[in-house]
Amino acid sequence: MFGTDPSDEPVSTWTDLARDQGMTDLARVTLIRELDSIVMDQSRLRRPGAPRTLATSPLSGLARDFEELGDLPQALRAQRLYAALQETAWDRASARHTLARLEREAGRLPQALDSLAAVRDALATPGGRVLSSGSAPAAGGHAPGWSRLSIGAR
């Protein structure tokens, strides 16, 4: 349930409420401020118990929220940063795949092709933690069957 102080609530609580009430501009401005704050101080993404690792999920959440509001430029901005901060090959591939979809929807086809090429490269990276068609990393870090996914096929 809700706390006693409204400022203790996550930003998403207020932006979801504003969006649901048709105040999309208010929600959008709030989300832009949140994204700007993260861009200016990425240390906000550090995990409390493990300061050398980042919790990047707020960025993917912002990208989804912007997309739901129809603000593709801001969704792309959040998704680009999210993709850039991914540490494993599989996470990079997944984030770039979403980025390619957003770029395609925004009509940025050359950028979408570049993102798909980055997906293919991430999946082919030796030593990266890449998942094969199953749920465990393949031997050597490769995903030998990844090309069956039709990602970046030529």
CA 84 to chain centre: 9
Write out pLDDT tens, residues 87-144. Answer: 899 999 999 999 999 999 999 999 999 999 999 998 887 655 544 434 444 444 444 4
The whole-number average pLDDT for the span 7-20 is 84
The whole-number average pLDDT for the span 13-26 is 90
With H, G, I as helix, E, B as strand and everything else as coil, classify residue 137. strand
The whole-number average pLDDT for the span 34-61 is 91
pLDDT at 31: 94
Comparing CA positions, the residue from 74, 82, 151, 65 lying closest to residue 106 is: 74
pLDDT at 24 over 70: yes
pTM reported for the whole predicted model: 0.77
Q: Is 68 exposed, middle or buried (0-12, 13-18, 19+ CB in 10 A)?
A: middle
Q: Distance between CA atoms of 29 and 88, rounded to whole angstroms?
A: 32
pLDDT at 69: 93
Radius of gyration over alpha carbons of the chain, in Å?
A: 18
The whole-number average pLDDT for the span 80-87 is 95
